């Protein structure tokens, strides 16, 4: 048994006070806090072996290069990829998705082609595809959500045509916490010879990801949402697909040789990593992977699920809340969106902030979902991670009671 109580101690920020109150951090879907080991690693890099990677012949550079590549190797294991050639470092999940849009989709899509997305998508997995559609004259098809919380799989399966080029789907909704049936989605897409991009921003670090078992073609995520530093994203893509892709950022590091007119581009994956990478943070990202692996993703998933159930039961007891929890909440991870009746979500967030409680409010970067599906102008959202506990939920409930009192 993992003792989750001790985990909180590893996160220095959780000891700080906000507006004179103990910090209760419930905005993990936006970004997560960092354990000491990650923070210390960043300092360690800068104090001990800061040197540009893949460039110096001297030992300092060799050391940083080795550490940098070590993170890549551990990401291979973390998502069960086949090789380091399939792991490209980017700045964030959004950039990973844009890399696929620019280097793969734009070269492939023709006027009249179709890209399937789901209504659950975060703007990061929508706007790039709108852009591809605009430039290439392709069309976006939205898979709707059933009341149960599942994507409408009949609609999905029937939406394939010989013009379908790509399916882009989130592994977990950042608004409703819904985990999509990725295996089934990918299987039916492949039966139609269509490739699938998985936005794993909310899934990574919360559930086990096995890209081979899923048979995902592309999978994108951000380090900062899984205990790691900001400024680090990952794109996984099958080697044979990456091999076909043409880079869209050019310059140093991504080349093998350069003469006056022409250049030969580097092997995978560095072909897609032009310029000096954020190596210090990438090296520190490895500490986040280690932290998660030590606890075990299965344990984390179970822990968050229990916290979800606890919060659900507490919030359901409050009379003036509208909870956006799907009928089949079994498929939800540790995210709950809600509104306090008669109070705008921003006011809820501001009052909770005075109590030291951080929650998200607004469109949550998912305007089509919030506006067209939930039919709301704004929602409030709590999202858990492994350092949250029942006490946090109780403080939230007390905070929400204060909201109600103020607006009575």
Partner 1 sequence: MDLYQENILDHYKNPRNYGDLKNVSKSVKESNPLCGDEIKMDFLLENGIVKDVKFSGNGCAISQASASMLTDEIKGKKVVEVLKMGKEDVLDLLGIDLSPARLKCALLSLYAVKRGVGGERNS
Ligand X SMILES: Cc1ncc(COP(=O)(O)O)c(C=O)c1O
Residues marked active site are found at 365
Residue 125 binds ligand X (CB under 6 A): yes
Question: How do beta strands 21-22 and 17-18 pair?
Answer: antiparallel
Q: Pick from 33, 94, 103, 270: which binds ligand X (CB under 6 A)?
A: 94
Asked if 278 and 67 count as a contact pair (C-beta separation under 8 A), the reply is no
Closest to ligand X by CB, 142 vs 407, is 142
The distance in angstroms from the start CA to the end CA of the chain is: 44
Rounded Cα distance between 62 and 385, Å, is 36
Closest to ligand X by CB, 95 vs 355, is 95
75: left (phi over 0), alpha (psi -120 to 50) or beta: alpha
Residue 132 binds partner 1 (CB under 8 A): no
Residue 234 binds ligand X (CB under 6 A): no
Q: Pick from 87, 120, 378, 393: which binds partner 1 (CB under 8 A)?
A: 378
Site pattern 40..79 for ligand X (x: CB under 6 A)? ----------------------------------------
Question: Quick one: which H or E segment has residue 235?
Answer: strand 233-237
Place of tokens 């975060």: 122
The helix/strand/coil state of 391 is: helix
Residue 236, φ and ψ in degrees, nearest 5: -95, 135
Rounded Cα distance between 79 and 65, Å, is 22
Q: Binding segment for ligand X among 121-129, 130-138, 250-258, 285-293 (CB under 6 A)?
A: 121-129
Q: Pick from 32, 98, 102, 170: which binds ligand X (CB under 6 A)?
A: 170
Q: Binding segment for partner 1 among 52-60, 68-76, 88-96, 341-349 (CB under 8 A)?
A: 341-349
Rounded Cα distance between 175 and 365, Å, is 9
Closest to ligand X by CB, 381 vs 395, is 381
Q: Pick from 199, 304, 355, 392: which binds ligand X (CB under 6 A)?
A: 199
Q: Pick from 4, 362, 373, 389: which binds partner 1 (CB under 8 A)?
A: 362
Closest to partner 1 by CB, 26 vs 100, is 26
Asked if 357 and 380 count as a contact pair (C-beta separation under 8 A), the reply is no
Rounded Cα distance between 197 and 220, Å, is 8
The structure tokens listed for 302 are: 């179970």
Residue 180 binds ligand X (CB under 6 A): no
Closest to partner 1 by CB, 228 vs 399, is 399
Q: How far is the CB of 319 from partner 1 (least distance, A)?
A: 19
Rounded Cα distance between 111 and 313, Å, is 50
362 binds, among partner 1, ligand X, none (CB under 5 to 8 A by kind): partner 1
Q: Pick from 33, 102, 124, 164: which binds ligand X (CB under 6 A)?
A: 124
Asked if 358 and 27 count as a contact pair (C-beta separation under 8 A), the reply is yes
Cis? peptide before 269, omega within 30° of 0: yes
Residue 347 binds partner 1 (CB under 8 A): yes
Rounded Cα distance between 51 and 64, Å, is 6
| Binding residues vs ligand X (CB under 6 A) | 29, 92-94, 122, 124-125, 170, 174, 199, 201-202, 222, 365
The site for partner 1 (CB under 8 A) is made up of: 343-347, 350-351, 354, 362-363, 367, 376-378, 406-407
């Amino acid at each position: 048994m993992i003792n989750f109580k001790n985990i909180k101690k590893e996160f220095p920020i959780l000891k700080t006070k906000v507006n004179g109150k103990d910090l209760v951090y419930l905005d993990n879907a936006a970004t997560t806090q960092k354990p000491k080991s990650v923070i210390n690693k960043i300092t360690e890099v800068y104090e001990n072996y800061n040197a540009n990677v893949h460039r110096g012949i001297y030992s300092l550079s060799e050391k940083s290069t080795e550490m940098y590549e070590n993170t890549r190797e551990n990401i291979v294991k973390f998502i069960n990829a086949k090789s380091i050639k399939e792991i490209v470092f980017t700045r964030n999940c959004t950039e990973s998705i844009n890399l696929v849009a620019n280097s793969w989709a734009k070269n492939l899509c023709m006027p009249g082609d179709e890209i399937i997305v789901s209504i659950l998508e975060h703007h990061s997995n929508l706007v790039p595809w709108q852009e591809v559609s605009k430039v290439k004259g392709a069309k976006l098809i939205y898979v709707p959500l059933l009341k149960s919380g599942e994507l409408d799989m009949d609609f999905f399966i029937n939406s394939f045509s010989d013009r379908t080029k790509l399916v882009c789907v989130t592994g977990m909704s950042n608004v409703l916490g819904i985990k999509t049936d990725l295996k089934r989605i990918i299987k039916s897409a492949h039966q139609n010879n269509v490739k699938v991009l998985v936005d794993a921003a909310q899934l990574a670090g919360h559930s086990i990801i096995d890209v081979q078992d899923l048979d995902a073609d592309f999978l994108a995520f951000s380090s900062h949402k899984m205990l790691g530093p900001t400024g680090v994203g990952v794109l996984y893509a099958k080697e044979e697909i990456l091999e076909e892709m043409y880079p869209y950022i050019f310059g140093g590091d991504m080349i093998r040789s350069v003469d006056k007119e022409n250049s030969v581009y580097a092997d995978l994956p560095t072909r897609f990593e032009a310029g000096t990478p954020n190596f210090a943070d990438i090296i520190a990202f490895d500490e986040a992977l280690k932290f998660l692996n030590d606890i075990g993703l299965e344990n984390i998933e179970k822990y968050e699920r229990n916290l979800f159930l606890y919060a659900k039961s507490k919030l359901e007891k409050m009379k003036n809340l509208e909870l956006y929890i799907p009928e089949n909440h079994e498929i939800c991870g540790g995210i709950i969106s809600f509104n306090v009746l008669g109070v705008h979500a921003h006011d809820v967030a501001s009052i909770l902030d005075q109590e030291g409680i951080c929650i998200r409010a607004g469109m949550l970067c998912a305007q089509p979902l919030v506006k067209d599906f939930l039919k709301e102008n704004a929602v409030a959202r709590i999202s858990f991670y492994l350092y949250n506990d029942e006490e946090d939920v109780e403080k939230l409930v007390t905070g929400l009671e204060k909201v109600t009192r103020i607006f009575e």
